[in-house]
Amino acid sequence: MKEYFNLHRAHVFCQEGCSSCCEKGDYPISQIELAYLMQGYISLDNEQKTIIQRNIKNIERGGACPFLIKKRCSVYKYRPVVCRVHGLAYMCGDKVKLPYCVNEGKNYSGVYQNGEVVINPILENLDTPSVLKQLEYGDIRNLYDWIKK
């Protein structure tokens, strides 16, 4: 991932506090990633855990990630693949997948014209289900579905 971000660093503007990608989404993750996320959760202080527990009680499908606190990921080191690849332009089948923040003037907005990216995207399919299937991480569900079951 570091190589991909370095390759496209001129077009990726992700930084701490920029959390629009965490404020609405589906967050497909595997069971092993959920277990890893929970390791990060266990390492948090009680105040952060309380906030996350409240967020989980109020979680909505397609809403904010419950681990987002004050526009920061509380479990950043433990984040799943979907979070690690977000922000990059890559091929998904025969289409280029872009982060939606391109429409907010952020990632790739300088090379996005008339609905087309005018640079070469990463050719590898980094779509979360595709990556997780290659890694054989098991069942993949939306974070909401893991938490609400």
pLDDT tens, residue by residue, 82-125: 999 989 999 988 899 999 889 888 999 999 988 888 989 999 99
The mean pLDDT of the chain is 90
Place of tokens 């332009």: 89
Structure tokens at 135: 């890694």
Q: Residue 149: what pLDDT?
A: 64
Whether the pLDDT of residue 79 is over 70: the answer is: yes
pTM of the model: 0.86
* pLDDT above 90 as % of the chain: 58
Whether the pLDDT of residue 80 is over 70: the answer is: yes
The region that residue 138 occupies, defined by phi over 0 for left and psi between -120 and 50 for alpha, beta otherwise, is: left
Is 92 buried (19+), middle (13-18) or exposed (0-12) by CB count in 10 A?
A: middle
